């Protein structure tokens, strides 16, 4: 009889969104280190590479022409314009991965999340992180360096506009404490993996359990 923990299951698309300053990058990094069944979905973008970024790891960096061609050829699961650049999730890796039980972590904005959900509702789990307060958000957005008041005000306005999309998510976690927030995110992921519809190997397993017995 197949051991329960080796049952086949379908992978899921785990979307972690937040306004900048709410700790999304830290939580994503911890999750990828902690859990080897989930890996990052690497997006294509037209924005220039930042120092320290690696092509093919952080993003697939593409020219505007290349990106437009990919849109035309229906290469993307979702794509959107974010802050003046284009970003998209390539279909290929995700499609085959999900069928093999691979989970994917998505760092995409609310527009992409909506598109993903419309296309593949049953495979998508949407988690939104919030900062614990406005003061804390301001502190996190200022502690990055010696920015002018104007730059900080711009960041705050952008973060608040991102927060306005909180109701497009299945789960909302307030990131008051990184460890506590991380644990909650792990619990969400674990529970979602146990959804009956995702456990494709259950049918055979349960059939065995229900086999008529002689005694």
Q: Which residue has the tokens 């969104």?
A: 17
The nearest distance, CB 149 to ligand 5GP, in angstroms, is 22
- Cα within 13 Å of Cα(183), Cβ side: 5
Residue 107 in the binding site for ligand 5GP (CB under 6 A):
yes
Name the residue number minimizing CB distance to ligand 5GP.
112
Using the rule CB under 6 A, which residue among 88, 104, 175, 181 binds ligand 5GP? 88
Residue 7 in the binding site for ligand 5GP (CB under 6 A):
no
Q: At what angle do helices 178-193 and 24-34 cross, to 10 degrees?
A: 50
Integer-rounded Cα radius of gyration of the chain? 20
Question: How many residues make contact with ligand 5GP (CB under 6 A)?
Answer: 14
The nearest distance, CB 4 to ligand 5GP, in angstroms, is 35
Do residues 112 and 103 lie in contact, with contact meaning Cβ atoms separated by under 8 Å? Answer: no
The nearest distance, CB 19 to ligand 5GP, in angstroms, is 9
DSSP string over 137-187? HHHHHHTTS---HHHHHHHHHHHHHHHTTGGG-SEEEE-SSHHHHHHHHHH
Per DSSP bridges, beta strands 85-90 and 76-82 are: antiparallel
Do residues 20 and 159 lie in contact, with contact meaning Cβ atoms separated by under 8 Å? Answer: yes
Q: Which is nearer to ligand 5GP, 93 or 111 (CB)?
A: 111
Q: Which is nearer to ligand 5GP, 159 or 193 (CB)?
A: 159
Rounded Cα distance between 161 and 156, Å, is 9
Using the rule CB under 6 A, which residue among 22, 27, 94, 108 binds ligand 5GP? 108
Rounded Cα distance between 189 and 204, Å, is 24
Residue 86 in the binding site for ligand 5GP (CB under 6 A):
no
The nearest distance, CB 142 to ligand 5GP, in angstroms, is 18
Q: Which is nearer to ligand 5GP, 169 or 193 (CB)?
A: 169
Looking at residues 18 to 57 of the shown chain, list those that interact with ligand 5GP (rule: CB under 6 A).
Answer: 43, 47
Residues 170-189: x where in contact with ligand 5GP by CB under 6 A, - otherwise, as a string? --------------------
Rounded Cα distance between 97 and 113, Å, is 19
The footprint of ligand 5GP (CB under 6 A) covers: 43, 47, 78, 80, 82-83, 87-89, 107-109, 111-112
């Amino acid at each position: 009889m197949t051991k329960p923990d080796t049952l086949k299951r379908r992978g899921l698309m785990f979307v972690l969104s937040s306004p900048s300053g709410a700790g999304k990058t830290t939580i994503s990094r911890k999750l990828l280190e902690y859990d080897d069944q989930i890996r990052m979905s690497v997006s294509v973008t037209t924005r220039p590479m930042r120092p320290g970024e690696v092509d093919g790891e952080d993003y697939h960096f593409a020219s505007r022409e290349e990106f437009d061609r990919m849109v035309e050829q229906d290469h993307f699961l979702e794509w959107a314009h974010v802050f003046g650049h284009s970003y998209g999730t390539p279909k290929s890796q995700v499609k085959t991965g999900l069928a093999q039980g691979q989970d994917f972590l998505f760092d995409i904005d609310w527009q992409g999340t909506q598109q993903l959900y419309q296309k593949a509702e049953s495979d998508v789990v949407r988690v939104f992180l919030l900062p614990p307060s406005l003061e804390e958000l301001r502190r996190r957005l200022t502690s990055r360096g010696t920015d002018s008041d104007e730059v900080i005000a711009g960041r705050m306005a952008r973060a608040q506009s991102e927060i306005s999309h909180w109701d497009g998510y299945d789960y909302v976690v307030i990131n008051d404490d990184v460890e506590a927030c991380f644990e909650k995110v792990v619990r969400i992921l674990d529970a979602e993996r146990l959804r009956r519809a995702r456990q494709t190997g259950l049918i055979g397993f349960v059939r065995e359990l229900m086999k008529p017995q002689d005694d």
